[in-house]
Every structure is written in structure tokens, then in C-alpha cells.
Structure 1
Amino acid sequence: MGNQKIRLGIIYGGKSSEHEVSLRTAMSIMQAVDANKYEVTPVYVQLDGAWVTGETLAGQLPDKIEALRLSAKTPKSGSLFAMNEQMDVVFPVVHGPFGEDGTIQGLLELANIPYVGTGVMASAIGMDKWMMKTVFAQAGLPQVKYVGFLRSQWEKGQDDVMDRIERELGYPCFVKPANMGSSVGINKAKNREELKHALEVAAKFDRRLIVEEFVQARELEIGVLGNEELLTSVVGEVIAAKEFYDYEAKYKGAGTELSIPAIVPEHVSKQIADIAKQAFQALDGSGLSRIDFFWDEKNDKLYINEVNTMPGFTPFSMYPMLFQAAGVSYSELIDRLVQLAIERHADKGRNVVDAEELD
């Protein structure tokens, strides 16, 4: 691309409960990019699913979240697939379902546009906690005990489901919708009454539910950056004022403290980095991920909790702060992610798509 500016599209919004989180992430990225390097085009996915493309931002970046809510208009037919003529690379920051679950990634693959972050498969598995845990188990990574249920199983036999949870996990336990990010729909249950409520809440968000045993542990997180050659950040710790790191704590402060770097023994930091890379590779990750762990300090046991394939870039977000502490600034992080996207797209371009080309 020489000395020309990189035409960067930022897709944000989306049809999930994390719509507002996505707007904050998009705002942070737009304000951090170097206007001498990039021409930014905002692409807003409204709550109703309509796509709206705004005017290219060349130096004039929005300073308020409301400015990202572009005026509603229906894009002309085929315009989404013309993005490869208008943008060199796309940074999708649509969090949660219909965004970081492989759906937008699949669209961008069809449109043949380089994009930041993990591919279709890794995004889908990373979003579905049940599938993620299945892959981690196959890779031999340490996890807490868990059970999974379909919403239909819960609705048809509530007592059977709760009996099994009590038998296999006991109390307290955590109930989660399998496909939801930002701690949306997650509750801690200390007895059968709370368990029933937690399952009812989780079932509103997804047809797949997962319940995990509780372990008395510290919550540690690490960032991974790269495609095949991986860089890890420092380890950070979440010290939640509430019983766990929920939506309010993540995005509205809510008294939560972040310790960066975490005060843990060197062998724990090293083990976290090693397991994080293994998890990233097990999913066939690319670009970025934040990987969360539980550390049972008393017994010195480490458990991988989950991977977030499109972590937020809000002022409260761990991922950029973890790399800031590792010496990678916010703007440099964006530059690296864009280059990783371009490199991965070029590598995919080496694949033979027509068998006759081999003749």
C-alpha cells in the first residue's frame, strides 16, 4: 500500500444486548487511530439489523457516542459485498451474538475482505462456552467441572436438571447462557431457589446453558496477540467488589479493581502464558484474544475459564491495558492487529481453490 493511507472500516453496533458496549469500543478505536495512517469508514449495524455506512472520517473523529448512531437508511442492494472495493481491512467490534460468533466473520470471508481477529470457526467456538470447554478438554487443558443443558431440557424437566446439577456440582455454582459475552445473563446460585432463577434468566438469552462448579480462586487474565507467532501480555487480576465480575463491573466500574500486573508468583504467570497460547492454538485463533483463568492460590491450581475472541477496547477494558503494561501502546496495538489481518488474508490467498490449477 506504499505511503497511501490504509482504508480501515470499523463495524460496530449489532443485534445483541452488547450493542452499547460495541459503540464504546468503536469510539475508543476511532479516537486512537493515527489519521496520518488511516482513513476510517464507520459501518453501523443497527439493533434491527440494518447496515448503515457513514462518510469516511479523514482526521475528524467523533467525540460523542451519539455521533456513532448514523442516520437510518437502507443500504443499496449488494453494497455490503462492495466493501472490498472501498476498504483495505475491516475491524469488526460487534460484541456478542451476531458479531463475535463467526457470523460477521463469515460475511467478510464471502466478501473477500481482510479483517481483524479470529476466523469463523475460532469465533464460533470462542463464543459458545459449551463448545469451547469441549475443545479445551480435548486439548487437555485444566478446567473446573461443568455440565451443559439445552433450554428444551430445562423446560421439560426442571427438577431433573437441578437434581443433576446438585449431584455433580453442588453449591455454589455459576449458571451461564452458552452464547453470550460481557457476563450478560450470568448468575451465582447458592441454593435450589437461586439455581432455578439463574437457569430461568440464562434461558432467556440462549438455547444452550452451561453450569460450572464454584472454586475459591483469584480471577486472572492475559492477552494474546498474533497469528502463528504469539505474543502474550502481562497477567492482570480482576478484584471484583461484587461476588463476580459482572456486566456492571466490566463496563461501569462498579467498584471493581484491576491489578496490572497481577501480584502472583513467576511460575503462575509463566503457566498462564503457556496455557493461553495452547488454548489460542486449539481454537485456531488469530489476531487477538483475552483468556481468563481461575487460580486457586491455596492449592496452587490453575483453571482456564474462557477465551474472549473480541475483547472490548473501552476505557475499562483489560486487553489494551494488559498490553500497555507489556510495552505495547493502544495505537500500536491497533496497528499490529491491522497488519496481522492483512497478513492472514494474504496467507489464505495462497490456498488453491480450483483443483484444475494443480494440473
Structure 2
Amino acid sequence: MAVADDRIAEQKEKGRALRVGLICGGPSAERGISLNSARSVLDHIQGDDLHVSCYYIDSNLNAFAISSAQVYSNTPADFDFKLESLAQSFQSLSDFAAHLAASVDIVFPVIHGQFGEDGGIQDLLEKTSIPFVGTGSRECCKAFDKYHASLELNKLGFVTVPSFLVQGSNEQESELAKWFTLNQLDPQRGKVVVKPARAGSSIGVTVAYGVADSLKKATDLILEGIDDKVLVEIFLEGGCEFTAIVLDVGPGSNSNPVTLLPTEVELRFHGTVDVREKDAIFNYRRKYLPTQQVAYHTPPRFPVGVVEQIRQGASHLFKQLGLRDFARIDGWFLPPTFHALTSEDRFGKTDYGTIVFTDINLISGMEQTSFLFQQASKVGFSHSNILQSIIHHACLRFPDLASSVNLSGHSRRSPNFLQLTETSKRAERASKAFVVFGGNTSERQVSLMSGTNVWLNLQAYDDLEVVPCLLAPSCEHSSSATSHEKDSDLSSWAVWTLPYSLVLRHTTEEVLDACVEAIEPKQAAFTSLLRNQVMNDLTEGLEKQSWFSGFDIGDELPEKYSLKEWIALARRVKATVFVAVHGGIGEDGTLQSLLEAEGVPYTGPGVAASKICMDKVATSLALNHLEDFGVFTIKKEVWKKRDLLQKPTVDVWLDITSKLQCETICVKPARDGCSTGVARLW
């Protein structure tokens, strides 16, 4: 510990900000998610009291020091392309560790999957006595491997899912067939889940039917190089999946894990769907990309006693496995009719069904809308607060390090988490800003991302009180009207002002559903009861920390207004509206006209410019007179829907290609976003 002690002494003497080394990337297929997590962490912890240095590990375990600007490169391919010219490389991981020992006070690893959660990076840091956030190497190694973790859970008295381990490329068909029979599964069509043992919570996870299909999919995963150990598990038919964030609030090295409000993951399927699609699971695509096939419920729609059992079980598991700081634990709640699991005298058996824990995530995803932030925000933590709390707890394992830094990030960045008594006074003086996003165009999900990003970044300013607002179709309005008819009918629109926790979703539909669910009286009372239990547990541990001064959730319910009522509210409270609605009434001048009429200031171009620029035809006509100055527009033909439908397709094609004198054409909507619906035809 000599190196660490010297570093701590030096920092204490200088009294400077805590130096955090943020490490992302890694060799697993989840490194793209790791980059997203790193961006989010960097957004919310960089400040006067924390100085962040960024590092990247590539797929070959080469280490690089990168700039904070480079973290915002879009994909792993972007990183790899820019590394040679923009990054400082290290000759070996040993050199990298030596650099960290001299340059940072504590490391925050955000590498998901291999090398990040299997104990790899932790072992490297431990050998060099570098403090780091999260669980130690030995405990990571044991918990990350799903097969070994299941054996450990079984030893600890938890209900576990029967599984069969496929290793290497050896033929194991006869043994797998015996396992199918033992678990009363049809060897030809029995439904199972096939997943890598050491590749994170969703990479490579798929459903298989029968022995042959299971063995083929397991072998494919091995041949693809995802993992050389693959599990075949029984399919938990009729079960409800959940995930729970566990936060350690114990002082120093004393563990006191508290499980936050769990989230139920509901898969939804619309219209006619293939039977096997309905057997689908919460895979990588559904977890990380916008889709209407997934809905989240925090807290889950389980009986109160079941939710409390989940919380107790996850906390107990966290402690027994020796985890540190934070983790995410996934599992299932199974109906009483499910008899495939042995559950007598084991933790998980309830009067309502069976609770089974299946996956332990040592470094939970930290994207803007991740489960970590969804669940933490339910009890008053902002993104900044929860991340700095995790870092602060890690520092407590090194008393000199903890006492030499001032983690004062628990400020007005979250209006629900009180650190300073001046918060309410500043709020009275603060200017109001309404950030509006959503709409009903094809760009509404991009609008949600834009609006969320704006809202989160504006939270940093003490002189602003920022309210996120969802523009959504009114639930009472008929769905038979066309989109343009709906846009022009202002009564078809509603605006919801949102509490912090309800913004953090992947789609506008999820946000709207969450709003409707939240204001239902029984659900509101249910959420309040469970939230108070979590807050009591957190307070019991956190009140021993010098920086903690209590929670103040305030009003956690969304409020619904008509569009006119919302604009009147903005005028009354003297708010400036940040328009983050893409397409439709957000860009065609409609919203701008309504705001101007009531004297409400807003961001972006005015009514006339919006009207012209939203319509590609109008834009072209407006620029025609600039040809003499070298400004040209593309030659085009404009067709209305009714004309296209009334004329034979071949005639339309010949007409357009003849007038444009071309063999291929580009088609696009005249009044939608810059890339929506654009196609090349030939």
C-alpha cells in the first residue's frame, strides 16, 4: 500500500480535487454499451471536486489514455480508428497500471463483461494497490460466471434454475438428452434458454427448442468466440422478469447493502406475432434500443410482500457474495403453478409464487436511462448524486483518501436530494425553463433523447429551475384522424410535466404509459409505501455519513395539461421554453406561433423560418433566387398522396425519370425530418 499511501498524503497536502480514472471499452461485445456508460458517468461527475481522466481498453487488451472529448466518439469503431493519432498508448498493462498509480487517486471501471466484471481489471489494480470503485477481483470472478454463481446461490440456500453446462466443442448430446428427461422437458420440442456463462446479462442469450436445437445454438456461441462455456436452462414459463440495484451504504469496509425499488421488465407484443416471438426474452436489442416491445414498471406490479422479499434477498446475496459499492441483480418471479423448481426450505418461496435470482451484474449499465438511474431517481437521487455517492463509498475503504477530498456534488443538481440548506432559497430566485420533447412524428424517440440530454445538462446551473415536459397525443383524442389533421387540431395534444424518474425511458410511449400508471391512485399509494421503506433503509445507513442531510422527494407525480393550459402556465411562471420537439408542430411553426401569441420566450427560429425550413419544397422555392450567387437546389418533382394512388406505378415512374432525366431517384417526405423515410429507388 506504499504507493497508495504516498499518493493520499500528497493529495491531502495539496487539498486538490479527487482524481478519478474512468476506464471503458474492453474485449467483450458490450464495449459499445461501456462507451455509452462512460459518457454518462463523465457528464455527471466531472466538476470542481472531481477531476476525471479517461482511458480505453481495446478488444486486444491494449490500454490508451484518451481525451474527454474522444469519449464522445460514436462507436467502438470510431475509437479504434482514432486511437493512433489521438490517444497515448501504453506498452503493456503493467505500464498502464504504473501510470494510473501516479496519475489518479481512484479508478472507476465501467467495462462491461469480460475484463471488467470477471475480475480482470480489478486484479490489475489490486496488484498495484490502486483504489477502485466496485467489487474485488476474486468476488467478481465467482459472481460473474453464471454457472459458478448458480452453484454458490444453491449453497447459500436460494432457489436456483436447473441448468446444463456445455463446454468446448465436445459432443454432449446424450448427456443433454438425459438432462431434458430429468427436468421433464420434451427432448424434441422442450423450450430452454441458451446463454454464455461469462458474457454479461444479455449477450448471446437466446431461446432453443429441444436437444438438437439447444446443442446447435450452444455450439454456435462457442464457435463465434463469445464464450467457451454455455448454459442451457429451463425456460421460466409464465414468469415475470425483474432487476434490482443494490447500493452499499455501510461505513468504511462494513457492508450495509440496501436494495432500491426493483423494476419489472414486461415484454409486449402487438398484433399478429409468431408464436416463437412471444417466447422471446429480454435480449440485447430489447434492453438497449428503443422498442415498443418492452415496458418497465418501478416498482414492479407484485404484492408488497414479494417486493420486500426481492429486496431482502438481493441485499443478502450482495453481502454473502462479498460485493462492494453497487451491483445489479436480475431474477424472476414465478407463479404458484410453476413447479419445475425445488423451492421447499429455500429462500424465494412465498405464498404468491417463487422468487429466483439468475444474474449478477458487477458493473451495471450506466447509460442515461439505465436501471441504475431509473431506480435511484425514485428515491431522490439525481445522476450526479448516485454516482458521487458510489465513489464516496469506495473512498471510505481508504479513510485518508475519504477525509482528504470534499465530495460536495450533492447539490441542487437534484432538487430531490438535500445537501445544502440554501437549496430552497436558490430555487425561489431561479429562472424557470421548460424543456419540451416528444410529439408524434417518426423522430419522437430522437426528440426524447435530445430533450433528456438538454434537461440533464441544464440541471447543472444553480440559477435555473428546469422542468422536463412531454408533448403527447391526448388520450381522449380519436386515433382515426391523419397525422396532419391531429397536428392542426390543438385539442389533440396534451403536455405532461414530469418528475425526474419518469423521464428516464427509451421511448415516448414508455414515458406516457408511466405517467398514466403513476397517477392511478392505488399505484401512487403503492409506490409511496415501498419508496418510504427504501428511504428508511437508506437513511439508516447514510445518516452516519457526514455529507448526508436527508431526503426530500417532494411531488413525485406528473401533471397533465392541454397544450393551451401548458402555454398559459409557462407565461404565468415566466418560463422560457426550450423546444426539443423534432418535426411536426415542433418545427413547422405551430408551437412557435402559439408561444409567441402568449408572449412566452422560446429557443430556436421564429414562425416564418420554421414554416419554410420544415417544408423541403418551400425551402427550395425560397432559395431559388440565390442561384446567381452560387446557391443551388436539387431538381425535384413534387407528388401528393392522392395523385400517387390514382396513377399506375409504372406511369408515375416514367413521368418522374423523364422529367428529372435520371435512371434512379431519391424519394423523401416533404414535411418530415431530415432523414426519415428517405429511400433510393431504381
What is the TM-score normalised by the length of structure 2? 0.48
- Pick one of 219, 239, 248 that aligns with 2:241: 219
Equivalent position amino acid for 1:251 in 2: Y
Q: Does 1:190 align with 2:209?
A: yes
1:265 aligns with 2:303: yes
> Which residue of structure 1 lines up, in the alignment, with residue 3 of structure 2?
none
Mapped pair 1:249 → 2:286: yes
Percent identity for Structure 1 against Structure 2: 25
Q: Distance in 2 between matches of 1:26 and 1:62?
A: 7
Tell me, what secondary structure is at the counterpart of 1:219?
Answer: strand
* Among candidates 159, 171, 181, match of residue 167 of structure 1: 181
CA contact (8 A) 2:25 2:58 kept: yes
What amino acid is aligned across from residue 230 of structure 2 in structure 1? Answer: L
- Greater RCO (CA < 8 Å, at least 6 residues apart): 1
**Alignment-derived partner of residue 276 in structure 1:** 314
- Does the aligned pair in 2 maintain the 1:221–1:236 contact within 8 Å? yes
SS of residue in 2 equivalent to 1:165? helix
Q: Aligned partners of 2:52, 2:170: CA distance in 1, in Å?
A: 50
Asked if structure 2 preserves the Cα contact closer than 8 Å seen for 1:27 and 1:65, the reply is no
Shift of 1:192: 3.3
Partner of 1:65: 74
Structure 1 residue 346, shift from structure 2 partner:
4.8
1:8 shift after superposition:
0.8
Does 180-189 or 103-112 show the bigger shift?
180-189
Q: Does the 8 Å contact 2:246/2:327 carry over to 1?
A: yes
Q: Which residue of 1 aligns with 2:367?
A: 314
Deviations 1:110-141 (A, max 9, x none): 12111111111221112100110111111001
Q: Is the 8 A contact 2:257 2:319 kept in 1?
A: no
1:316–1:173 CA distance, 2 compared to 1 (3 A): farther
Given candidates 43, 46, 56, the residue that maps to 1:44 is 56
Task: Please tell me whether the aligned partners of residues 143 and 305 of structure 1 are also in contact (alpha carbons under 8 angstroms).
Answer: yes
Distance 1:236 1:331 in 2: 21
Question: Is the 8 Å Cα contact of residues 173 and 211 (structure 2) preserved in structure 1?
Answer: no
Counterparts in 2 of 1:81-160, with a 5 A limit? 81-151=98-168, 155-160=169-174
Computed over aligned residues only, the root mean square deviation of the Cα atoms, in angstroms, reads 2.3
Can you give the 5+ residue segments of structure 2 that lack an aligned partner in the other structure? 1-10, 269-276, 338-352, 401-682
For the residue of structure 1 that corresponds to 2:396, the secondary structure is helix
Tell me which residue corresponds to 2:40. Answer: 28
Shift of 1:61: 8.8
Matched to 1:246, the amino acid is N
Q: Is the 1:34–1:331 contact (alpha carbons within 8 Å) kept by the matching residues of 2?
A: no
Following the alignment from structure 1 to structure 2, what is the Cα–Cα distance between the partners of residues 340 and 68?
31
Is 1:289 aligned to residue 327 of structure 2? yes
1:206 positional shift: 1.8
Give, in whole Å, the separation in 2 of the partners of 1:254 and 1:81.
Answer: 44
User: Which ranges in structure 1 are unaligned for 5 or more consecutive residues?
Assistant: 348-359
What is the CA–CA distance in structure 2 between the aligned matches of 1:274 and 1:302, rounded to whole Å? 11
Q: Over alpha carbons, which structure has the higher Rg?
A: 2
**Cα distance change, pair 79–319 in 1 and its aligned pair in 2 (3 A):** closer
Name the CA distance, whole Å, in 1 between partners of 2:220 and 2:291.
22
Give, in angstroms, the shift of residue 316 of structure 1.
4.0
1:30 and 1:61 in contact (8 A); partners too: no
Query: In the alignment, what sits opposite 2:412?
Result: none
Dislocated runs of 4+, deviation >6 Å: none
Residue 337 of structure 1, CA deviation: 1.2
2:197 is aligned to 178
Letter in 2 for 1:32: H
1:343 CA drift (Å): 1.8
Q: Given the two structures, how large is their TM-score scaled by the length of structure 1?
A: 0.88
Kept after mapping to 2: 8 A contact 1:51/1:74: yes
| Partner of residue 357, structure 1 | none
Q: In 2, Cα distance between the equivalents of 1:33 and 1:150?
A: 42
Q: Please identify, of 276-285 and 167-176, the stretch whose mean Cα deviation from structure 2 is larger.
A: 167-176
> What residue is the counterpart of 2:568 in the other structure?
none
1:276-325 per-residue CA deviation (whole Å, 9 max, x = no partner) reads 01211221000111111210134511111121111111134212211111
Q: Determine the structure 2 residue equivalent to 1:355.
A: none
Q: How far has the Cα of 1:190 moved from its partner?
A: 2.2
Partner of 1:239: 266
Structure 1 pair 182/140, CA: closer, same or farther in 2 (3 Å)? closer
1:68 deviation in Å?
6.0
Match of 1:6 among 18, 23, 31: 18
Give the structure with the larger strand fraction: 1
Question: What is the match of residue 384 of structure 2?
Answer: 331
Match of 2:520? Answer: none
Does the aligned pair in 1 maintain the 2:201–2:359 contact within 8 Å? no
Decide whether aligned partners of structure 1 residues 346 and 174 sit closer, same or farther in structure 2, where only a CA change above 3 A counts: farther
Q: Any idea what SS the aligned residue of 1:20 has?
A: helix
Alignment correspondent of 1:350: none
